[in-house]
C-alpha cells in the first residue's frame, strides 16, 4: 500500500519503475483490477482540472472526454475505473484511500505543486517510450506557457466561496466520519476553484476566445494574451446552483471593460441577443470620446458576436440579468428568438 510520501515525494526512478509495470500489464476483463500505482493516481488527480467526472456515471462513462479514454487505455482499465478514482480523490466517494484523499487535499489547491509532479511523471513516461499518441500532455495547451494556471478565478469572491464551502463541508461531515474537517474544506475549496476553471475554459472556447461585445482577441508572440479576456457568469456565481455554476450557457466572454460593464448593469443582452446600453451611459458616450471608444457602436456590436456553432446564452440567465442587475428599463427580450 503506497504511503503519502510515495505520492508527494515521487522520484524519477520510482516513476520509471511504475511505468514499466504499467506497460507490462494486461487488461483484466472480470474480477478485481490491480491497484492503482502513484503515477496513475496522480494523473487521475491532474485530469480533474480538465474533466468534470461527476457528469459521467456507469452508463455514460464511455462518453467521458480526453484524457479519460487515453488514461484508461494506457492503464489497461475501463473509463469507469478512471472516473471512480477521480471521485475517490475528491472525497465524494466513501471508499477513497485515506492517503490518497490527504494527497488530493494538498495538491488540488496547489496547482503549482501538482504541475511539478505531473511534469516529472510525463517525462518519465516519455523516457520509457510512451509517446504523446498514448499519453497526451493534457494540462499544457500548445499556445499556453507551461505553468498550470486556473482560468476564471478573478470572478470568485473569497468570502462567498468560503461561505459556500462551509455549508457544504458541514453537510459532508454529518455523514462522513472518515473525513478530516480541514481536508474536507480544502477539497471543497479546490473543487469550487477547479469547477470555475473548467467553466471559464469552456466559455472561452465556446466563444472562440473573442469578446462577445466588441470582438477583441489579442494574440502576442503566437499565443493568446493572458487577462485580456474574462469568462464570467451571466447569473453570478454566488446566486447559482451547483449546476448553473458549470453551465456554459450561463457564461459570456468579454474584455475587462465590457465584463465590468455587464456585471455592474451598465449593459445587458436581451433574449434576441441584442446588446443594450443604459440611457445614461449612451448619453456619456455621445460627448466623451473615451466612453465612446468603449461603448459606441462600434466597438459594441448590435448583437452578441458569436462564432458559428456556439452554444447560445440561455434566455433564463439573460432574463435574470435584466431583472436583477441591469440599470435601465428591461429591453424587449420579449422580442426574443428561440435560443434552442
DSSP line for 108-119: TT-HHHHHHHHH
Per-residue pLDDT of the chain (340 residues; tens, 9 = 90+): 889 999 999 999 999 999 999 999 987 666 677 899 999 999 999 999 999 998 898 789 999 999 999 999 999 999 999 999 999 898 777 665 678 888 999 999 888 899 999 999 999 999 999 999 999 999 875 545 445 567 888 888 888 888 888 888 877 777 666 677 888 888 888 989 999 999 999 999 999 999 999 999 988 777 777 789 999 999 999 999 989 999 999 999 999 999 999 999 999 999 889 999 999 999 999 999 999 999 999 999 999 999 999 999 999 999 999 999 998 775 454 344 333 3
How many residues does this entry show for the chain?
340
CA distance 111 to 129: 27
CA distance 76 to 95: 21
CA distance 107 to 7: 10
pLDDT for residue 138: 92
Which of helix, strand or coil describes residue 92? coil
CA distance 317 to 338: 14
For residue 60, what are the contacts with CB-CB under 8 A and spacing of at least 6?
Answer: none
For residue 334, what are the contacts with CB-CB under 8 A and spacing of at least 6?
Answer: 270, 271
CA distance 311 to 35: 40
Cα first-last separation, the chain: 51
For residue 323, what are the contacts with CB-CB under 8 A and spacing of at least 6?
Answer: 330
pLDDT for residue 143: 47
Q: b or e along 224-260 (b: 16 or more beta carbons within 10 Å of the residue's beta carbon)? A: eeeeebbbbbbbbbeebeeebbbbbbbbbbbbebbbe
Decide: 248 and 201 in contact? Cβ < 8 Å. no
For residue 233, what are the contacts with CB-CB under 8 A and spacing of at least 6?
Answer: 155, 199, 240, 244, 245, 250, 251, 317
pLDDT for residue 94: 65
Which of helix, strand or coil describes residue 224? strand
Cα 54 to Cα 29, 48, 51, 230, 312, distances in angstroms: 24, 10, 9, 25, 23
- pTM of whole model > 0.75? yes
pLDDT for residue 4: 93
pLDDT for residue 338: 35
pLDDT for residue 137: 94
Strands 275-277 and 267-269: antiparallel
Long-range contacts made by residues 292-301, C-beta under 8 angstroms, separation at least 24? 294/257, 294/258, 294/261, 295/261, 295/266, 295/267, 298/214, 299/213, 299/214, 299/215, 299/216, 300/213, 300/214, 300/258, 300/267, 300/275, 301/213, 301/214, 301/215, 301/275
pLDDT for residue 145: 46
Decide: 290 and 208 in contact? Cβ < 8 Å. no
For residue 327, what are the contacts with CB-CB under 8 A and spacing of at least 6?
Answer: 265, 266, 278, 280
CA distance 258 to 213: 7
- Name 224's bridge partners: 219
Closest CA relative to residue 213, chosen from 256, 248, 246, 245: 256
Amino acid at each position: 500500500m503506497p504511503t503519502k510520501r510515495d505520492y508527494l515525494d515521487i522520484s524519477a526512478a520510482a516513476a520509471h519503475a511504475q511505468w514499466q509495470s504499467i506497460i507490462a500489464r494486461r487488461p483484466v476483463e472480470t474480477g478485481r483490477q490491480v491497484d492503482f500505482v502513484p503515477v496513475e493516481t496522480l494523473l487521475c488527480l491532474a485530469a480533474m482540472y480538465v474533466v468534470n467526472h461527476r457528469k459521467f456515471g456507469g452508463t455514460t462513462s464511455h462518453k467521458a472526454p480526453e484524457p479519460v479514454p487515453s488514461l484508461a487505455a494506457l492503464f489497461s482499465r475501463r473509463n469507469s475505473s478512471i472516473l471512480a478514482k477521480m471521485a475517490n480523490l475528491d472525497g465524494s466517494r466513501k471508499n477513497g484511500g485515506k492517503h490518497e484523499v490527504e494527497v488530493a487535499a494538498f495538491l488540488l489547491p496547489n496547482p503549482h505543486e501538482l504541475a511539478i509532479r505531473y511534469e516529472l511523471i510525463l517525462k518519465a513516461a516519455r523516457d520509457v517510450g510512451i509517446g504523446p499518441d498514448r499519453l497526451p500532455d493534457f494540462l499544457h495547451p500548445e499556445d499556453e506557457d507551461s505553468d498550470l494556471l486556473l482560468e476564471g478565478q478573478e470572478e470568485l469572491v473569497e468570502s462567498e466561496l468560503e461561505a459556500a464551502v462551509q455549508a457544504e463541508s458541514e453537510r459532508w461531515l454529518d455523514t462522513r466520519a472518515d473525513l478530516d474537517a480541514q481536508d474536507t474544506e480544502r477539497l471543497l475549496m479546490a473543487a469550487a476553484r477547479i469547477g470555475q476553471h473548467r467553466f471559464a475554459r469552456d466559455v472561452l472556447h465556446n466563444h472562440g476566445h473573442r469578446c462577445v461585445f466588441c470582438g477583441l482577441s489579442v494574440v502576442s508572440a503566437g499565443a493568446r494574451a493572458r487577462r485580456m479576456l474574462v469568462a464570467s457568469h451571466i447569473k453570478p456565481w454566488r446566486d447559482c446552483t451547483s449546476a448553473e455554476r458549470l453551465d456554459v450557457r450561463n457564461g459570456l466572454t468579454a474584455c475587462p471593460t465590457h465584463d465590468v460593464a455587464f456585471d455592474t448593469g451598465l449593459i445587458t443582452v436581451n433574449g434576441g441577443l441584442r446588446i443594450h446600453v443604459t440611457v445614461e451611459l449612451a448619453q456619456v458616450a455621445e460627448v466623451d470620446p473615451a466612453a465612446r471608444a468603449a461603448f459606441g457602436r462600434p466597438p459594441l456590436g448590435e448583437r452578441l458576436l458569436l462564432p458559428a456553432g456556439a452554444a447560445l446564452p440561455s434566455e433564463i440567465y439573460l432574463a435574470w440579468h435584466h431583472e436583477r442587475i441591469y440599470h435601465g428599463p428591461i429591453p424587449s427580450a420579449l422580442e426574443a428568438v428561440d435560443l434552442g
